[in-house]
Amino acid sequence: MRILLIGSGAREHALALGLAADPAVTELHVAPGNVGIGEIATIYPEITAVDNPDTMLELAQKINADLVVIGPEIPLVAGVADILRSHGFAVFGPNKDAARIEGSKAFAKDVMAAAGVKTAHAEQVVPGATAEEIDAALDNFGPNFVVKDDGLAGGKGVVVTTDRKTARAHMEAVLHAGNPVLLESFLDGPEVSLFCLVDGETVVPLLPAQDHKRVGDNDEGPNTGGMGAYCPLPWLPEDGVQRIVDEVCVPVAKEMVARGCSYSGLLYAGLAWGADGPAVVEFNCRFGDPETQAVLALLQTPLATLLHAVATGTLDKQPPLEWADGFAVTVVLAAHNYPGTPRLGDAITGAESTQVRHAGTARAATGELVSAGGRVLNVVGTGATLFDARNSAYSVLSQIALPGGHFRSDIALPAVEGRISV
């Protein structure tokens, strides 16, 4: 099987490792790829316009790909899957219409309302709103304000605050940029990320994970694209995954079919588990980053064969997924000043371990590894216990040096210490 994987982050590095390990794979091509991926696949660093359907079609035809796996949300929302499918390619990733589940939070809310899925109350404010209209909308929420950019924001378009002035300032910034704003009621309870393979009305869940969005320990500081994750969740009720599938993912999948935009790919449900069970915070139309790095570290079912089954409409014929025992933890090493404007070009040493997943890295003219993005790399640790998996990840991370680099020291720690309950 010849595979084209689209993307360049640590999520794609994890996907590439999983795909390359499948005996059915004969060639793995990744556009644009990154330094780490280049060690196991043919990469196309010159192809950066991965949201250009014509460019991606031309590459898929050149490779004669048997399967195209689309990693990031931007090409999915741009319709890359549509043009590839129209030319006969098997594609893992939803079409443009279905990708609105992430591309438009208002669309996602409408789908959930029709499907009877529990989520936060929401109100949309559109560009051109007056100061009085903005204030009137804010009056309907609080004391915890949740303000979202109603579009793609790389996980950083959400402000959760008890300060009305901060909430209003974020609203004004989003509206000024020409995007609608979604105000939501605050959902209490620990967060759960559940990835589901979806093929029409067939839904197959992966392991539940938990992301850490805030930049600092103890969930302090601004939101990021994710500073670390772990799986599975020792505190989740025994029937937790099945409840999410039955109460959230299956109803949404059926509603999408009913609307004529049947879903095919990875549906990411981000939820809060409150007193009454799961409620949806958001949906994403692709594998999440950094949860993917932890989840795929435990998957034993051949990944390429599995994704090909989704892409060709045969997911319902696949055997149950197989998982390694134990736990996995991934910790993100970020560049100086992230999640603001990161400093680039700093030398990285000690990152040779097979537990490293590259994200924002590059090779300098001298050949040394340097930072080239905000989230620079991830370290993944596995172990029989969550404690062991944490130790494995942090032990490797302690050997890596990046001037000005920073990481959270408490990824999965509340779960290890039994401080999370539902």
Does one domain contain both 71 and 136? no
Q: Domain range spanning residue 71? A: 2-95
Chain-wide mean pLDDT for the chain? 96
Does one domain contain both 26 and 70? yes
CATH of the domain at 60: 3.40.50.20
| 87 in any annotated domain | yes
pLDDT band at 156 (very low <50, low <70, confident <90, very high): low
Burial of 379 from C-beta contacts in 10 A (0-12 / 13-18 / 19+): buried
pLDDT score of 154 more than 80: no
pLDDT score of 134 more than 60: yes
pLDDT band at 155 (very low <50, low <70, confident <90, very high): low
pLDDT score of 148 more than 90: no
What is the pLDDT at residue 122?
Answer: 84
- Distance (Å, whole) CA 127 – CA 130: 9
| 143 in any annotated domain | yes
Q: What is the pLDDT of residues 53-106, one digit of tens each?
A: 999 999 999 999 999 999 999 999 999 999 999 999 999 999 999 999 999 988
What is the pLDDT at residue 106?
Answer: 84
* Backbone phi and psi for residue 204, each to the nearest 5 degrees, phi listed first: -125, 115
| 210 in any annotated domain | no
Q: What is the mean predicted confidence (pLDDT) over 302-316?
A: 98
Q: What is the mean predicted confidence (pLDDT) over 308-324?
A: 98
| 274 in any annotated domain | no
Number of domains making up the chain: 2
* Angle at the Cα of 263 from the Cα atoms of 322 and 295, rounded to 5 degrees: 30
Q: Which of 77, 95, 113 is the last residue of a domain?
A: 95
What is the pLDDT at residue 32?
Answer: 98
Q: What pairing do the DSSP bridges indicate for beta strands 220-223 and 158-161? A: unpaired
- Distance (Å, whole) CA 36 – CA 121: 42
Identify whether the C-beta of residue 156 lies closer than 8 Å to the C-beta of residue 214: no
Which two tokens mark 1?
């099987």
What is the pLDDT at residue 308?
Answer: 98
Q: What is the pLDDT of residues 368-399, one digit of tens each?
A: 999 999 999 999 999 999 999 999 999 999 99
Q: What is the pLDDT of residues 175-215, one digit of tens each?
A: 999 999 989 888 889 999 999 999 999 999 999 999 999 99
Residue 370's DSSP bridge partners are 347, 362
Q: Which of 54, 77, 95 is the last residue of a domain?
A: 95
**C-alpha dihedral, 337 to 169 to 171 to 289, nearest 10°:** 20
What is the pLDDT at residue 254?
Answer: 98
Which pTM was predicted? 0.91
What is the pLDDT at residue 278?
Answer: 97
Q: How much of the chain, in percent, has pLDDT values that exceed 90?
A: 91
Q: How much of the chain, in percent, has pLDDT values that exceed 70?
A: 98
Cα(first)–Cα(last) distance of the chain, in Å?
44
Question: What 3 state SS string does 352-408 have?
Answer: CCCCEEECCEEECCCCCEEECCCEEEEEEEEECCHHHHHHHHHHHHCCCECCCCECC
